[in-house]
């Protein structure tokens, strides 16, 4: 089947673009976040394409005055992967790897936006994420991340906010991971449910920093990387990275985080992060009981929910996946400066360095 994308010289196989290999869990996804430096206003957005499920879905969230507002949308893909509009939410690529536009228009839910992402640094390709469960490929994906500024505005319940002072991060990922309904046949090699994930993209006046970590239950990294990029430049990937977290009692969420990154010349850069509040990733569909990624909702469906951040029980499994907004202090050979960003966290199951021994035991 031919689609609009077939008129572009982007084919990787003899097949039309509509066909994405043989794995039903193939996905292709956009993510954005943006925030004022003082944390008083925050947004996040995501749009995912699932060719084998013939579904495209999107979410847009705003956090303001302690309330998280979540707009969800899903529709049939109809094979056209270049039609990146899902009901009231749309992503446009203005200049690849540099400028993107995010449009939202849902008067019924009091959320509108016209936001333009402008890159501060070059996009960074992370190490490929590959994970097997026995003989089954459970994750095989590529991701790029990029920090930037915003132009435009967003509107909540009739109040318009200027985005000119907002910073943030976007990512693009594609490949294989769990989407849609789960497999009804249990994998005999699946073992205990375990996943340890940290992602820390920070913005400073003169640079951007990046760090991520996937650990196994024993604390051995199976995917990790760190990088520092000067404004307008390419990222310098570090040769060694490590992190230490302290946890808020009664949670699996960090009270503090320390990240050390060492370059090829043995110069050490240290990041000290302190969270201020949490954005809950279920607003973007991660672990959402109704709006999970790739779930079928018919030809077009739009939904909305909201909650007070103070009411979120930290031990609830649906609340484990967060982005903690806060301040970060960078210390390196050039001195010390303070920036802002998020520390994304999803910690499920055992993790020896953290002291977690069961699926959901708390600090």
**CATH number of the domain residue 252 falls in:** 2.40.370.10
Residues 298-313 pLDDT 10s: 999 999 999 999 999 9
Domain count along the chain: 1
In a domain, 337, yes or no: yes
Helix count (H) and strand count (E) of the chain? 0, 24
Q: Is position 29 within any domain?
A: yes
Q: Are strands 41-50 and 55-64 parallel, antiparallel or unpaired?
A: antiparallel
Which residues, listed in sequence order, are joined to residue 335 by a DSSP beta bridge?
A: 332
Q: Write down the H helix ranges in 107-221.
A: none
Residue at 66 is within a domain: yes
pLDDT tens digits, 56-92? 999 999 999 999 999 999 999 999 999 999 999 999 9
Question: Would 299 be classed as within a structural domain?
Answer: yes
* pLDDT value for 306: 98
**Would 37 be classed as within a structural domain?**
yes
Mean of pLDDT values over 192-198: 93
The answer to whether residue 50 is domain-embedded is yes
Checking if the pLDDT of 189 tops 80, the result is no
Widest CA span in the chain: 57
Name the DSSP class of 166. -
On whether residue 20 sits in a domain, the answer given is: no
* pLDDT tens, residue by residue, 242-258: 999 999 999 999 999 99
pLDDT band at 190 (very low <50, low <70, confident <90, very high): confident
pTM for this one? 0.96
> Structural domain of residue 65, as residue ranges?
25-172+192-354
Is 80 a member of any domain? yes
């Amino acid at each position: 089947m031919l689609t609009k994308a077939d008129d572009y010289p982007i084919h990787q196989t003899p097949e039309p673009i509509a066909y994405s290999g043989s794995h039903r869990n193939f996905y292709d996804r956009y993510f954005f976040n943006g925030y004022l430096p003082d944390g008083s206003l925050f947004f996040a957005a995501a749009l995912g394409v699932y060719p084998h499920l013939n579904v495209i879905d999107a979410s847009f969230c705003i956090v303001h005055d302690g309330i998280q507002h979540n707009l969800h949308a899903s529709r049939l893909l109809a094979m056209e992967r270049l039609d990146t509009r899902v009901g009231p939410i749309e992503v446009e690529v203005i200049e690849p790897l540099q400028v993107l536009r995010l449009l939202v228009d849902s008067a019924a839910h009091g959320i509108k936006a016209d936001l333009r992402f402008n890159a501060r640094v070059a996009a960074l390709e992370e190490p490929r994420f590959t994970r097997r469960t026995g003989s089954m490929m459970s994750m095989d994906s590529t991701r790029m991340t990029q920090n930037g500024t915003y132009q435009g505005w967003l509107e909540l319940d009739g109040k318009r906010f200027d985005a000119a002072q907002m910073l943030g991060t976007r990512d693009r990922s594609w490949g294989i991971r769990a989407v849609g309904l789960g497999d009804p046949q249990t994998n005999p090699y699946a073992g205990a449910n375990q996943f340890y994930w940290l992602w820390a993209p920070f913005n400073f006046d003169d640079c951007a920093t990046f760090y991520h970590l996937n650990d196994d239950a024993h604390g051995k990294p199976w995917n990790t990387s760190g990088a520092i990029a000067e404004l307008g430049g390419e990222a310098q990937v570090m040769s060694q990275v490590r992190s230490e977290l302290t946890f808020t009692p009664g949670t699996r969420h960090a009270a503090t985080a320390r990240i050390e990154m060492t370059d090829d010349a043995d110069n050490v850069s240290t990041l000290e992060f302190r969270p201020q509040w949490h954005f809950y990733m279920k607003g973007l569909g991660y672990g959402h009981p109704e709006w999970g990624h790739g779930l079928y909702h018919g030809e077009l469906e739009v939904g909305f929910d909201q909650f007070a951040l103070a009411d979120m029980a930290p031990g609830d499994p649906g609340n484990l996946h967060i982005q903690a907004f806060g301040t970060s202090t960078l210390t390196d050979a050039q001195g010390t400066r303070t920036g802002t960003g998020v520390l994304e966290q999803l910690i499920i199951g055992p993790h020896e360095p953290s002291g977690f021994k069961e699926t959901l035991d708390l600090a």
